[in-house]
Amino acid sequence: MSLLIQILVTVAFLIGVLGNVTALWILYKTANRRNKKHLFLLRCLAVNDLIAQIGMLHFIYLGKYQGIPKYWNCVGFVLIRAFGLGSGCVAFVMAFERWLALTRPFLYHQIITYQVLKRFLCGLWLTAVILTYLPLFGFGLYYNKEKDKCDRFRYAVDVKDKIYAYLFFAFGATLCICIALCNIAVICELLRIRSQQKVLVRRISRSIIVNRDRAGGPTRYHTPEEMAFAKLMAFICLIFIVCWAPQVISVPVSQYFIPPSKSIKIFETVADALLTVYFALDPFVYVLQNYFEGRISFSCCFFKKSTSSLSSNTNDTEMVCL
């Protein structure tokens, strides 16, 4: 790794660490005002990304300056890789939760409780952990004893190692496809709701709503927080697919082009760079941006209110003088 690339990677990871720590603090301060399910998912994503960034940065420098034996450094990379894949699991659960809440609200409120959501996420995350740690038990490539260096599983040569590489590819590709499908469905639902809001001009009285509910008509009501979280989730999932898809595609590409050509190596470098960007951007997208926008909008509203109050007081004074 050249000095320039090392500096860029370090800066990106440090920005991500700072962002995730700040995001966790904001989530802690605003916990009472947030939906319990959304808060749980955002915290899981922040903690997962934070561990992945700190661990990856730690083992990069340990490997560069030979702080520990090479074998244990390779083991450390495998251990941290689980949190990288775990981030995709959280993104998928967020996408699935929003898709079900927006398109099947009645089923969502019946089935998706806080405990069910927690068990589902933990089960999916444990599946990713087991899959990631299989090379430590002899199923998958991660260390070259002859050259005493770390080997990536996508460069597998043995049959069992190739099977693991494609198994990992299948799991990652399934996550990306499911996230994309849920994301597209959410965007379509948001566009439908927005078009209905534009058409609906008059107010609907409570009696009409009650009568429609009794008649069994399809009604969907969503709070502003749910709509905002759906838009946020769509943005997060889009970033996840853009940054993770090249990493997933690199597995069959590396298997097909052995040994890898110069263009393939450039593609793999870009895929690794996008993954670093993903972990750096995540906290700024899902928590920090909304927080600072909220603070700015609150300040603007306060300023406008103060200005209007001042102008009204001035008008009252002029009327008294007359």
Q: What is the pLDDT of residues 211-230, one digit of tens each?
A: 444 444 444 545 665 566 66
The model's pTM is 0.75
Q: How does residue 120 score in pLDDT terms, banded at 50, 70 and 90? A: very high
Report the DSSP beta bridge partners of residue 149.
Answer: 144
For residue 127, report the phi and psi dihedrals to the nearest 5 degrees: -60, -45
C-alpha dihedral (259, 172, 246, 141), degrees to nearest 10: -30
Class (C level, CATH) for 3-201+226-297 = mainly alpha
- pLDDT over 90 (residue 128): yes
% residues pLDDT > 70 (the chain): 74
Q: In sequence order, what are the residues at sequence separation of 6 or more whose Cβ sits closer than 8 angstroms to the Cβ of residue 16? A: 49, 50, 53, 279, 280, 281, 282, 283
CB neighbour burial string for 133-166, b if at least 16 within 10 angstroms, e if fewer: bbbeeeebbbbeeeeeebbbbbbbeeeebbebbb
Flag the least confident range among 49-58, 119-128, 282-291. 282-291
Q: How does residue 78 score in pLDDT terms, banded at 50, 70 and 90? A: very high
Name the token pair of 132: 């990631």
DSSP 158: S
Name the token pair of 252: 């069959």
Tens of pLDDT, residue by residue over 246-263, are 888 888 888 887 777 788
Q: How far apart are CA 14 and CA 62, in angstroms?
A: 16
- pLDDT over 70 (residue 313): no
DSSP 136: G
Q: How far apart are CA 288 and CA 298, in angstroms?
A: 15
User: Cβ distance 118 to 68 under 8 Å?
Assistant: no
247: left (phi over 0), alpha (psi -120 to 50) or beta: alpha
Tens of pLDDT, residue by residue over 53-72, are 898 888 888 877 777 888 89
Residue 149: its H or E element: strand 149-150
